[in-house]
Amino acid sequence: MDSQQPMASAKADLKKLRHNTSATADELRAFLAEMRGKSPREMLGTVATSDLGKSLIQATLGVAAAILILTIVPFALGKIFGGSEPGPATPPAAEVAEAAGGGGDAAETPAEPALDPDAKPDRTLDALGIDGSKEAPLDRNPLEDSGDDILKDLE
């Protein structure tokens, strides 16, 4: 097989193309001459003996087996060697009450975590306007188009 040469001339390339096309046509003619006179069953016999169906079934079974093995084996190993399930990340309310020294009712809410003394959440919330809930007017649907262009101030 010769190496690719850069295009020297269009005439030489057309000559190579004509030669290659005729070679392909000759191969096709030879194949058709070989198949002439044979029954469709004989012509399809070469396709039928390729074991494509058998290979497809084997590949499907192999993938199904791999999925089962890679799913069930780690699950089973986790059950066998995993030990106990991890506990909840937050302690129950009764334990929090006992730890706080209250030892009282389990229905009490847990104590809030200590905040940074430099942080002033009330001032921050007031500055952001998040100090409470706002009542929406009942006569206006917020999902309907009111005609207000919220981008008009950006022009």
**Would you state the pLDDT for residue 111?**
65
How far apart CA 133 and CA 152 sit, in angstroms, is 28
Report the pLDDT averaged over residues 42-57: 74
What percentage of the chain exceeds 70 in pLDDT? 63
The two tokens of residue 80 are 């066998």
**Residue 66 clears pLDDT 80, i.e. is over it:** yes
**Residue 97 clears pLDDT 60, i.e. is over it:** no
| Domain boundaries of the chain, sorted by first residue | 9-50, 51-82
**Residue 67 clears pLDDT 90, i.e. is over it:** yes
The pTM for the full model equals 0.28
Report the pLDDT averaged over residues 12-34: 81
Among the residue ranges 35-39, 114-118, 140-144, the one predicted with the least confidence is: 114-118
Q: What is the SS3 assignment for the chain? A: CCCCCCCCCHHHHHHHHHHHHHHHHHHHHHHHHHHCCCCHHHHHHHHHCCCHHHHHHHHHHHHHHHHHHHHHHHHHHHHHHCCCCCCCCCCCHHHHHHHCCCCCCCCCCCCCCCCCCCCCHHHHHHHHCCCCCCCCCCCCCCCCCCCCCCCHHHC
Instruction: Give the number of C-alpha atoms closer than 13 A to the C-alpha of residue 134, restricted to the C-beta side.
Output: 5
**Residue 62 clears pLDDT 80, i.e. is over it:** yes
Q: What is the mean pLDDT of the chain?
A: 74
